[in-house]
Amino acid sequence: MSPRKHRASHLDTYDTWPMLSRILRHYLWNHKRDLSWAGLAMFIIAVALALQAHLIQPLFDNGLISGRIGVINTIIFTIVGLTIIRGVATYYQTYYMESVGQRVVATMQDEMYSQTLRQHLGFFATNPTGTLTSRFVSDLQRLKYAVTQIFSSGLRDSGTIIGLFGNMLLQDVKLTLLTMIIFPLTVLPIRKFGRLTRKYSRVNQESTARMAHHLSQTLQHIRQVQSYTQEKNESKRMMARVSDVLDSTLRAVRIRAMSSPSVELIGTIVIAAIMLYAGQRIADGTLTTGSFASFMASLVMLSRPLKGITNLNNNIQEGLAAAQRAFEIIDAPLTITDESGATALTVKKGAINFSQVTLTYTDGTTALSDINLAIPAGHTVAFVGPSGAGKTSLLNLLPRFYNISHGHISIDGQDISHVTLKSLRSQMGLVTQDVAVFDESIAANIAYGNPKASQASIESAARAAAAHEFISALPHGYDTVLGENGLKLSGGQKQRLAIARAILKNAPILMLDEATAALDTASEKDVQKALQKLSKDRTTLIVAHRLSTIAHANTIMVLDSGKIVEQGSHAALLKKKGLYYKLWSMQANAEDAA
């Protein structure tokens, strides 16, 4: 899909009406029972209020003016009773609406999260964690507020407006007609402000997301910030972002602040005109005092629901802006999925073939070009080369973290693009340089993805990864909780945990991307032994910076600028005196010097 095409469809899907209808059909319809209860409560509220306004007329004409205390008492008690009824109805309406709003948010959070987890890696480069987090939390909160407001204040207020208008018609048709003609004047500013609010709230949410991103990034890399003494600079950059947020917030505040008084001013002008006309009619004797009092009471009571409707529009606009940002995540196309009719990959031995493989990232970087590889089952192949040569990119292709731009990759003769992702990924163990540790116990971390693993198998994996010793030394052993609020492990310890995780997975294809880079020489030797044992009957792809650790590989592929420039055994490559020889000599010299 070209970017322009995407834009065009974008505008259509995220226009006001398509979005409202989507929210209604997809999210609210499931709660139609609760919504109906809320609707009934709102109806009762509106009718009770209109009745109260209506009772003002007999209160004046039949009670107050002629001094009949019995009539006065009856009407006053009825008015109080109606207020109690309205109170009870308001309670139910608020409760049902709020609960629907909360459940809609919960549904959207589920959808957003599960959709995000299935995204290709490139997606996370364009949608940093801070942005995703702010969409997940604050945007959905805004949306919930909008949804509950649309119904609780929107429906109730418009119901009340209709009821009060009905009473006005009953009291005097001409007076009402005059009101109806001049009343729509109040709608003009409402519309204008609505549009502006929506625009600024979008700007505001975007700058908030940028601020959140900056915050999470600098806090996450606080050691870098401090060691490069960038505190002042980062604060300065943060200040710029904070002031962006402030700026757009104030603009939105200004619009909101102007909105209510403008509507009120126009309302007052309308009421003044009505008073002038009614005074004339009472003087003529064609309108009773009671009718006029009831009419005016209705008109005054209208001001609150009308204000509600004005704010409602602002809320809807803010909510739609938030909904759009949520939908953009939910709707982001999944580019790496199972093909229709994809079959399960069956690995007997694990022979891997690359044929004319080219990988171009979405930003235009060609990381690999025309790669041809035939890795026999059970072999260990090492990839070496300068950083940026494309080693990680090559490994990322096997689990289909990225789609290749050209060529074919197959495992045991099956093209990996025609098999299911689940079956494909279950056949490989991956250990990378940056190790992920989850906020769980050590045992759960090793058994990640395999919660049924027995304690014995977890321990033996840890032993094989040379991790058992340090784990047993911890006060809670395998039950020690790691992560945010738990224990912090050293880089090398985390690395061994990740290796244990891969060992436990026991997959026929093993990929190690600088897996031992964080280890000291002593523990690297232990882990290296473990990995060599592990790679024995598996097809193993190793990327290693320290060339001494891959000298045992069956084949060594030397990558440079996305191409395989040399390949062969360690001895053969040394003899060749090419790039591998150069890299090897450089490292040997460095080690001698150390």
Ligand X SMILES: Nc1ncnc2c1ncn2[C@@H]1O[C@H](COP(=O)(O)OP(=O)(O)O)[C@@H](O)[C@H]1O
Give the chain's radius of gyration (CA, Å).
35
CB contact burial 150-183 (16+ within 10 A = b; e otherwise): bbbbbbbbbbbbebbbbbbbbbbeebbebbeeeb
Cα–Cα distances in angstroms (integers) from residue 45 to residues 49, 63, 94, 161, 566, in the given order? 6, 26, 12, 11, 81
Is the Cβ of residue 96 or residue 402 nearer to ligand X in the bound state?
A: 402
Buried b / exposed e along 372-407 (16+ C-beta atoms within 10 A) = ebebebbbbbbbbbeeebbbbbbbbbbbbbbebeeb
What's the Cα-to-Cα distance from 288 to each of 73, 193, 216, rounded to whole Å?
Answer: 21, 39, 68
Site string for Mg ion, 284-313 (x = CB under 5 A): ------------------------------
Q: Within positions 74 to 133, which residues make up the interface with ligand X, using CB under 6 A? A: 122, 125
Please report whether residue 494 would count as binding ligand X according to CB under 6 A. no
Q: Does 384 bind ligand X (CB under 6 A)?
A: no
Shortest approach of ligand X to residue 105 CB, angstroms? 32
**Residue 351 tokens, joined:** 């022979």
Binds 359: which of Mg ion, ligand X, none (CB < 5-8 Å by kind): none
Q: Based on CB atoms, which residue is closest to Mg ion, 392 or 561?
A: 392
Task: State the sign of the Cα–Cα–Cα–Cα dihedral 386, 389, 391, 392.
Answer: positive
Among 378, 388, 407, 486, indicate the residue that binds ligand X (CB under 6 A): 388
Q: Are 194 and 318 in contact (CB under 8 A)?
A: no
Nearer to ligand X, 315 or 393 (CB): 393
When asked if residue 360 is in the footprint of Mg ion (CB under 5 A), the reply is: no
Q: Compute the least distance from the CB of residue 382 to ligand X, in Å.
A: 13
- Asked if 561 is part of the footprint of Mg ion (rule: CB under 5 A), the reply reads no
Name residue 183's amino acid. F
Q: Which is nearer to Mg ion, 424 or 512 (CB)?
A: 512
Give me 427's structure tokens: 């056949």
Applying CB under 6 A, the span of 21-29, 36-44, 360-368, 470-478 interacting with ligand X comes to 360-368
Judged by CB under 6 A, does residue 363 bind ligand X?
A: yes
User: What is the rounded CA–CA span in Å between residue 394 and residue 61?
Assistant: 90
Q: 305: which residues sit within 8 A by CB, 6+ positions away? A: 156, 157, 158, 160, 161, 164
Q: Mark the segment that binds ligand X (CB under 6 A) among 219-227, 357-365, 518-526, 566-574.
A: 357-365
Residue 365 binds ligand X, judged by CB under 6 A: yes
Positions 381 through 410 that interact with Mg ion (CB under 5 A):
392
User: Nearest approach, Cβ of 115 to ligand X (angstroms)?
Assistant: 20
Binds ligand X by CB under 6 A, chosen from 74, 109, 288, 392: 392
Rule CB under 6 A: say whether 393 interacts with ligand X: yes
Q: What is the 3-state secondary structure (H, E, C) of 163-199?
A: HHHHHHHHHCHHHHHHHHHHHHHHHHHHHHHHHHHHH
For residue 389, the partner it binds in ligand X, Mg ion, none, with Cβ less than 5 to 8 A by kind, is: ligand X
Give, as ranges, the residues between 219 and 248 that touch Mg ion (CB under 5 A): none
Pair type for strands 406-411 and 380-384? unpaired
The span from the CA of 496 to the CA of 504, in Å, is 12
Q: Choose from ligand X, Mg ion, none: what does 484 bind? Cβ within 5-8 Å by kind.
A: none
Contact (Cβ atoms closer than 8 angstroms) between residue 409 and residue 354: yes
Instruction: Based on the shown chain and the rule CB under 6 A, indicate whether residue 410 belongs to the binding site for ligand X.
Output: no
Shortest gap between Cβ of 429 and Mg ion (angstroms)? 17
Closest contact distance (angstroms) between CB of 387 and Mg ion is: 7
Query: Do residues 430 and 513 touch, judged by C-beta distance below 8 A?
Result: yes
Please give the residue ranges that form the binding site for ligand X (CB under 6 A): 122, 125, 361, 363, 365, 367, 387-393
Please give the residue ranges that form the binding site for Mg ion (CB under 5 A): 392
